[in-house]
Amino acid sequence: PPTTLLGHVQKGLLDTDAPAAPRDDSLAVLSVRDSLTECEAAAAIIQRWLTEDQSLKPSNIGIIIPPNSEYGLYLAESLQRAG
């Protein structure tokens, strides 16, 4: 949605005159040591979202990962451990 930080970034990504937008949880930039830690962080964020918003379902959440990488395995393991 355009009212979120993610929507603001998507709409004005290449617009150098775009005004700043307030921060929210719709966009996160993480700095982690490796792909396993990245997947564990993503699983923790998703778990928090599902806990905080009872109307949110796992099927409402999408994760884009590179093809032919260890991300699929790491993400599956991390999500399974997170519950």
pTM value is 0.71
Retrieve residue 43's tokens: 């699983």
Rounded to whole angstroms, how far apart are CA atoms 1 and 7?
5
Rounded to whole angstroms, how far apart are CA atoms 35 and 15?
31
Contact between residue 59 and residue 24 where contact means Cβ atoms under 8 Å apart: no
Structure-derived torsion over alpha carbons of residues 6, 11, 17, 22, reported in degrees to the nearest 10: -20
Rounded to whole angstroms, how far apart are CA atoms 47 and 82?
7
pLDDT value at residue 76: 93
> Over the stretch 11-55, which tens digit does the pLDDT of each residue have?
888 888 888 888 887 888 888 999 999 999 999 999 998 999 999
